[in-house]
Structure 1
């Protein structure tokens, strides 16, 4: 199996890895072209020539994966001086390191109409989407777009523990009758976005519960509820647009303000042909 087919499989699985590719070599180097994959656990597939140069590229690739940022590595096969890698061959190599398998995760708890609409709207947005429900009929394949991971669980808490949402995960809760249990299980996790589809009254009831139970305020203050931007959304499709707009605002670090630059001034003259 070629490293490119392996890379495709890893990308589909959203498994973090880096591809290191020689883009320039000068002088005496082990190879003048080549690629290799570096997985986030340190495993390597392929080679760019071995030795100290490859070792340094692996180190750089692991840092790139951790920082979620592509980088260029320029190495000189000498023991001293700028960009020295600690060998005596005398050549130099430039290697581009690109990171992959780092799509943000969108975890939808509950497979009802709104989360179905959110899944379809999010599919083109490069999220790795997972849906969990304790009611198996809600997870029938036609209800969700191709590529969405569907999990049927006896209890939501078990699925949450298995999926282990992290700081790159966006979570939307829409389970109806089990929202509070799901939230109690999720609050300790450092997710990027924690949203609950609920009425204001329901949210107030949950907050009183956490206060009475002594749940640390910094945990439940992260919750966004009701979710979405106020665009007057009512249908599942409209709610999906509202919720994903809020998620993208957070993901992209935007202020969410209208971008309109057209204003009307009493002194403005009409435009004529």
Structure 2
């Protein structure tokens, strides 16, 4: 639901009921991931998508019915129609389950607060019951303050606390995922399946080297939802005017800046300096940090010399294996803009465990069942 936070927040502020259709499970080549949502207002206005177009009409009609009748939440499944590819089904061959429910903002003030936090760029998560007893289906609980507090209820303090404990980890990782709680006397006798919608702080992209390639990469990184920093020790090159798409431009020695800045498992670190006096101390430090992606620009010859120098400084082989160098995928890129696409394509493939091969050469589902990405793109884009 956080993919349409702006409109939902407006409706909540206006105390306008709406119907919310949430993708709660996908299979095969379903085009959109769990957590994606479509909503319909009382005037028939629609926002969002659950399938990229395949079943929107049927979902819209169901939303109108639930909204007008006030009936309990409804789960429905859509799949491919063998008899008629244009029937109400996914022509891509995938399957998805959708939960449709009426939301009355007056009954869920915590949801308004959570949506406001999303739009303000603050970390927040909303846990939604997608399977369990009928009277609990569709209930929501918001985890606020980066996990320090919760609001709303799923049926009592024990289950609320158990959910909050699980949500904190997902919120730190920026992952939207299903979790199960209950089924015991300590929390809740009924087993509940929840879909946890997360909005974490935007992941960082650190670009070292104030070169033309960095200008194009900072634009591409910001488009993908990263908070972009460009760092270079040369003040004549490291200026905001040269990098208008970066969130910040820092004049400092790269390794010194990296020593004192915050990184995590979602951080993408791109070294574009290809100058040993900058590269070696920077990479020696970076290779020991828990960043999500680390790449360095340079020719294959530069790469080999760089590895030799790093080995001489005592960097172990298992750390060197983390380095993507020469940086980027083989797209035949020549211009800074093409190179930026090459680099960001490699980052996307790495964080989603993709092959980097043309889809025409990869068997199976094009949206295959892969581990949850380490970067929650839809949530990050809301803060771009």
TM-score when scaled to structure 2?
Answer: 0.54
Q: 1:190: how far off?
A: 2.8
CA distance in 1, matches of 2:281, 2:197: 40
1:208 to 305, 308, 311: 308
The answer on 1:180 being equivalent to 2:247 is no
The answer on 1:19 being equivalent to 2:120 is no
Please list the CA deviations of residues 162-183 of structure 1 after superposition, one character each: whole Å capped at 9, or x if unmatched: 2233332221101244222221
**Residue 133 (structure 1) aligns with:** 232
Map residues 54-93 of structure 1 onto 2, 5 A cutoff. 54-65=160-171, 68-71=175-178, 82-86=183-187
TM-score when scaled to structure 1?
Answer: 0.73
**Residue 117 (structure 2) aligns with:** 6
CA distance in 2, matches of 1:56, 1:259: 41
1:158 to 245, 253, 256: 256
Compared CA separation, residues 260 and 33, structure 1 to 2 (3 A): closer
CA distance in 2, matches of 1:9, 1:93: 30
**Residue 38 (structure 1) aligns with:** 144
Q: 1:66: how far off?
A: 5.2
CA distance in 1, matches of 2:287, 2:255: 11
> Is contact 2:126-2:140 (8 Å) kept?
no
From the CA coordinates, give the structure whose radius of gyration is larger. 1
> Is contact 2:171-2:200 (8 Å) kept?
no
- Structure 1, unaligned stretches of length 5 or more? 76-81, 262-273
Q: 1:140: how far off?
A: 0.8
Compared CA separation, residues 210 and 33, structure 1 to 2 (3 A): closer
1:143 is paired with a residue of what secondary structure?
coil
Q: 1:10: how far off?
A: 3.3
CA distance in 1, matches of 2:339, 2:279: 18
Task: Report the more deviating stretch, 235-244 or 125-134.
Answer: 125-134
Compared CA separation, residues 140 and 248, structure 1 to 2 (3 A): same
CA distance in 2, matches of 1:218, 1:74: 38
The answer on 1:169 being equivalent to 2:274 is no
Compared CA separation, residues 180 and 93, structure 1 to 2 (3 A): closer
CA distance in 2, matches of 1:26, 1:252: 35
**Residue 24 (structure 2) aligns with:** none
CA distance in 2, matches of 1:142, 1:229: 26
Q: 1:199: how far off?
A: 2.0
CA distance in 1, matches of 2:191, 2:315: 57
CA distance in 2, matches of 1:255, 1:214: 31
Please list the CA deviations of residues 189-222 of structure 1 after superposition, one character each: whole Å capped at 9, or x if unmatched: 1323211111222222222222333321222232
> Is contact 1:203-1:225 (8 Å) kept?
yes
CA distance in 2, matches of 1:43, 1:35: 13
> Is contact 2:303-2:326 (8 Å) kept?
yes
- Structure 2, unaligned stretches of length 5 or more? 1-111, 362-384
Aligned residues: 243
Compared CA separation, residues 157 and 57, structure 1 to 2 (3 A): same
CA distance in 1, matches of 2:345, 2:358: 12
> Is contact 1:171-1:194 (8 Å) kept?
yes
Q: 1:94: how far off?
A: 7.5
1:245 is paired with a residue of what secondary structure?
helix
CA distance in 1, matches of 2:268, 2:301: 24
1:164 is paired with a residue of what secondary structure?
coil
